[in-house]
């Protein structure tokens, strides 16, 4: 199935992905490119991602960020992504607006914890929840936004094709969704 003795390809783009306060649906939609995944990995390699065992982000060409900021660790991870990724993409409604988890913003986080757990989990190993769920552009600059909940697989595909080809991402009608 693989072509024999293909010429050495140009350097693969390095892509990191992360889910902050998201549901992994955006990652699932990325995987919904189905068998095009095999074509993609000819051109890109993955750095930190839920799909790999690389646990800290290194220098990358592209960072795909799913989810908004729910706790202090989300913020740290996001800043590390910004520092290491040339192009940072806010993927999906949660990263762009806070999304559904931001529905907790009209409630007091202490009250919610109290009513859900009665005895509030407070171990130092647990990250501090933020008072409000924030979109990621509140804290770092983002370069591209890919809307949708989740963005369609074809939108991921188009974006990655554009970035691999060194083009500015085109937002094709029909791939931009606001659900």
Partner 1 sequence: MDTRPLETAAEPGGLRRIAIDPLSRVEGHGKVTLLLDDDNRVRQARLHIVEFRGFEKFIEGRPYWEVPVMVQRLCGICPVSHHLAASKALDRVVGGWPVPPAAERIRRLMHYGQIVQSHALHFFHLASPDLLFGFDAEATRRNIVAVAGAFPDAARQGVMLRKFGQEVIRITSGKRVHGTGSIPGGMNRAVDAHERDALRAELPQVLAWAQDAVELARRLHDNLPPRYADFADTPAAMMSLVGRDGAMELYDGVLRVREADGRIAIDGFDDQHYGELIGEAVKPWTYMKFPYRRSLGPDAGWYRVGPLARVQNCDFIPTPRAEAARQAFVAAHGGRPVHAVLATHRARMIELLHGVETVAALLDDPLILGGPLQAEGPRRPSGIGIIEAPRGTLIHEYDVGDDDLVTRCNLIVSTTHNNQAMNEAVRAVALRYLDGETITEGLLNHIEVAIRAYDPCLSCATHALGQMPLAVSLRAADGRVLDHVLRSSTGELLRDAPAHDAEAAQ
Binding positions for partner 1, 100-139, rule CB under 8 A? 100-101, 103-104, 106-107, 109-110, 112-113, 115-132, 134, 138-139
Rg (alpha carbons) of the chain, rounded to whole number: 18
Least distance from C-beta 34 to partner 1, angstroms? 4
**H helices present in the chain, as ranges:** 25-31, 36-40, 72-84, 92-97, 109-117, 153-164
Q: Is 99 near ligand SF4 (CB under 6 A)?
A: yes
**Could you tell me if 151 and 178 are in contact, meaning their C-beta atoms sit under 8 angstroms apart?**
no
CA–CA distance, 53 with 119 (Å, rounded to integer): 34
Count of residues that bind ligand SF4 according to CB under 6 A: 13
Least distance from C-beta 153 to ligand SF4, angstroms? 12
Options 3-11, 148-156, 157-165, 167-175: segment touching partner 1 (CB under 8 A): 148-156
């Amino acid at each position: 199935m693989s072509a024999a003795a293909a010429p050495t390809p140009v350097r693969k783009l390095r892509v990191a992905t992360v889910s902050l306060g998201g549901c992994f649906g955006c990652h699932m939609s990325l995987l919904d490119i189905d068998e095009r995944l095999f074509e993609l990995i000819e051109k890109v390699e993955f750095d930190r991602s839920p799909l790999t065992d690389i646990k800290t982000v290194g220098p990358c060409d592209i960072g795909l960020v799913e989810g908004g900021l729910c706790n202090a660790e989300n913020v740290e991870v996001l800043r590390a992504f910004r520092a290491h990724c040339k192009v940072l993409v806010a993927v999906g409604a949660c990263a762009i607006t806070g999304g559904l988890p931001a529905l907790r913003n009209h409630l007091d986080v202490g009250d919610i914890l109290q009513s859900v757990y009665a005895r509030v989990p407070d171990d130092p190993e647990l990250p501090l929840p933020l008072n409000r769920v924030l979109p990621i552009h509140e804290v770092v600059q983002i370069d591209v936004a890919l809307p949708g909940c989740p963005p369609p697989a074809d939108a991921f595909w188009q974006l990655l094709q554009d970035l691999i080809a060194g083009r500015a991402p085109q937002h094709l009608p029909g791939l931009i969704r606001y659900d």
